Structure 1
Amino acid sequence: MKSNFQTIINSEIPVLVDFFAEWCGPCKALAPILIQVKEELGAAVKIVKIDVDKNQSLAAQYQVRGVPTMLLFKNGEQVWRQSGVLQKNEIITIINSK
């Protein structure tokens, strides 16, 4: 996943990465919000979900200490980071402002 991850985030299209865990309640609340974000923005954003339990080295590399944690990348650069659940309009505003 690590080599694929670099390819994915090296995109001109903003890439929103959701670090989550299956056992995490707030992560389950965020999942349908991210679906709504994708439905609204379509091809203007890529959304990638990373299970921290299955990708521990990637989570450690980005110092993900709690879930959910969202990171936004543009051209391979991290431009935003937030832990916790945000609402659809907040996430869309952030993606459009970067």
Structure 2
Amino acid sequence: MLLHTVPRKSFSELINSPGMPVLVDFYAAWCGPCKTMAPILEQVATQHGGKVRIIKIDVDRNAAVAQQFRVQSIPTLILFHQGKPVWRQAGVVPVAQITQALQAYMS
């Protein structure tokens, strides 16, 4: 599932998805490296189907959520498991590195 604008309350509910890791991509429409991440995340979504939820958060539209998680550079990926951040990486991240981070949390 790829979402772009998520109200703060809904975001909290989404990252608390029981039994499924949630990968959040903090991005901006004007960000070149963020555009590079889009096909990488699509590939991750295709490879891991219903085992992970992927959410895209536009930091310009959701500044409060970005501030809550201290996102200082974009793109930033944060992996949540049972509502808690368990992995974080800024910059363009290859599929293999994302998959490795997901392995421990996918059922």
Instruction: Report the TM-score range of the alignment, normalised by the length of the smaller protein.
Output: over 0.9
Answer 1 or 2: which has greater helix percent.
1
Which of residues 9, 12, 16 in structure 1 aligns to 2:15? 9
What are the residue-to-residue correspondences of 1:1-98 with 2, within 5 Å?
1-11=7-17, 12-98=19-105
SS at match of 2:98: helix
Q: TM-score, normalised by structure 1?
A: 0.97
Unpaired runs of 5+ residues, structure 2, are 1-6
Partner Cα distance (1:86, 1:58) in 2: 21
Partner Cα distance (1:68, 1:81) in 2: 11
1:93 CA displacement = 1.0
1:97 CA displacement = 2.6
Partner Cα distance (2:65, 2:56) in 1: 12
Q: One-letter code of the match for 1:96?
A: Q
Q: TM-score, normalised by structure 2?
A: 0.89
Aligned length in residues: 98
Q: One-letter code of the match for 1:3?
A: K
Q: One-letter code of the match for 2:70?
A: Q
